[in-house]
Amino acid sequence: MDFFSTLYYRTKQVWKSTKMYLAIAGPGLVVMIADNDAGGITTYAATGAQYGYSLIWFLLLLIPIAYYVQEMTVRLGAVTKRGHAEAIFESFGAFWGWFSLLDLMIVDWLTLVTEFVGMTAALKIFGVPSWLTVAGVIGLMGIIILNGRYWTWEKIALGFCLLNLVYVPAAFMVNPSVNEIIGKGLIPNLPGGLSNDLFFLLMANIGTTIAPWMLFFQQSSVVDKGLHEKDIKMGKADTLFGAIITVFVAIFIVVVTGTLLKGVPIDDASTAARMLMQMNHLTGTLLAIGLFDAGLLGAICISLASSWAFGEIFGWAHSLNTNVKQAPWFYASYFITLITAGIVPLIPGAPLVLITLFVQVIAVTLLPAALVFLILLLNDKKTMGEYVNTPTQNWITGGIVVGIIILSTMYGVTALFPNLLK
């Protein structure tokens, strides 16, 4: 009898926790999976094609890194009830506030252009003209955001997150050798030594896992969802779950290209999808669908990150729980960002390579600043109270931030001066 009552009690407890998690889940999952955007898919496809399974161990290391950085935004958002932009303005003054806001605006817009480039390239494989893709995406995103409820928007975004899992069946379809994945992928090694190409690819993987817009997005999302201090534990679990999924999706992409395209130079994911279609039509098709979905998910989140930040600073109504009449400037800034970025890939001869380079360099200028502000904000005992960073958290996050600053700076500098490390 004792056994059955314990079992009943435990089951009830687990069910209660699951229900609580499902109610709070969203910001962490969406931001982490949206992190696998069009640029991210290209990076993972190139990693597999260039080095096979050899760098899977490195991707696994990105789980704690992504988690520890992003969970700080959960605590900050739930405690202060303010977005990241507002927190920087208020705590560090107008100079650093404007710097962060303008940098975010530029880097978000440029990243959004790269999402549209990815989406148009993906659908071009199926014969869809670029203008139709851009118009369709803007229309679809308009419908998603204009429903007037955060909850609905989040569930639709989670639906697109699910589509991100197409890489899982794709990886099984190419029949990879599990022994080889474990043998070559899980033992830390640097294939061929730390060459310039490998260094650049490792940093690209870090850069695609921790992006400045993610900090702004998740904190604003936590605030818009209305999470409180009591929800922090579940919010952190949501972030950890998201970090695990995003890295596992990345690994499945590496497995696909590492199995079929090893040794083939890959410049973008759509080229990889086309090549894969010639070898295994269904796998290539899934990669193309996944690329479109990744670009769409990235676009959904990135455009919102900017609109939320503007709303916080300019004092406009800035919630997805408001309609166009209540928050006209919030929706106007959203659509202006979206439409102007969508037009760029349609311009004949647009400098898309230069834009991609700019995204890397400008993101590098914002990332260290955003991370430094994040750590300083999380150490403000007066604001954070009992949720202030513990010494252990400071050692972990401090180490991660110093490492990211060094690597991202080197990434930015090598993007500007490609021959520097040769």
Partner 1 sequence: MKIIRQFVSKISEINERYAKPKVEMSPLIKLSLTGLRIYLLVLVLLLIYKFITVLPVGK
Residue numbers of the site for partner 1 (CB under 8 A)? Answer: 89-94, 96-97, 99, 313-314, 361, 364-365, 368-369, 372, 376-377, 380, 382, 405, 409, 412-413, 416-417
d(CA 25, CA 107): 27
- Between 96 and 248, CB nearer to partner 1: 96
* Residue 280 backbone dihedrals phi, psi, to 5 degrees: -145, 100
Nearer CB in complex with partner 1: 16/381: 381
Q: How does DSSP assign 253-298, residue by residue?
A: HHHHHHHHSTT---S-HHHHHHHHHHH-HHHHHHHHHHHHHHHHHH
Contact yes or no for 305/213 (Cβ under 8 A)? yes
Closest CB to partner 1 among residues 8, 314: 314
Amino acid, single-letter form, for residue 268:
D
Shortest distance, position 417 Cβ to partner 1, whole Å: 7
Alpha-carbon span 188 to 58, nearest angstrom: 7
Q: Which residue number, 44 or 89, has a Cβ lying nearer to partner 1?
A: 89
To partner 1, the closest distance from the beta carbon of 91 in angstroms equals 4
Task: Return all residues near 399 (Cβ < 8 A) that are at least 6 apart.
Answer: none
Q: At its nearest, how many Å lie between partner 1 and the CB of residue 383?
A: 8
Shortest approach of partner 1 to residue 107 CB, angstroms?
13
Residue 131 CB, nearest approach to partner 1 (Å) = 29
Min dist CB 419 to partner 1, Å, is 12
The answer to whether 53 and 255 are in contact (CB under 8 A) is yes
Q: How far is the CB of 36 from partner 1 (least distance, A)?
A: 27
Q: Which is nearer to partner 1, 126 or 417 (CB)?
A: 417
Q: How far apart are CA 62 and CA 259, in angstroms?
A: 22
Count CB neighbours of 128 within 10 A: 15
CB neighbour list of residue 58: distance below 8 Å, 6 or more residues apart: 188, 202, 205
Nearer to partner 1, 61 or 384 (CB): 384
Nearer to partner 1, 107 or 255 (CB): 107
From residue 422, alpha-carbon distances to 196, 206, 354 in Å are 6, 21, 22
